[in-house]
Amino acid sequence: MKLSVNLDRCIKAAECSTYHAELFAARDDGFPVVIVEEPAGDQVEDAEDAVRVCPGNAITLTEDDA
């Protein structure tokens, strides 16, 4: 699985870095950084939750071969 953020869509609401700090960090400018680009195990469920709650629909989780 590949986890990524489209910063063009991000509204810097920080849900991702607040609720899933193991996957995302917040930059000084408010945009998130993906810490774990290839989540595995329990991280996949957390990544799926981050996709669901992102108010900007900016987070995507795709298959490795997608």
Q: Is 23 helix (H, G, I), strand (E, B) or coil?
A: coil
Q: What is the DSSP string of 18-62?
A: HH-TTTEEE-TTS-EEES-SS--THHHHHHHHHHHH-TT--EEEE
Binding status of residue 3 toward ligand SF4 by CB under 6 A: no
Among 21, 38, 55, 62, binds ligand SF4 (CB under 6 A): 55
Among 5, 23, 34, 47, binds ligand SF4 (CB under 6 A): 5
Residues binding ligand SF4: number (CB under 6 A): 14
Q: Which residues bind ligand SF4 (CB under 6 A)?
A: 5, 10-16, 32, 54-56, 58-59
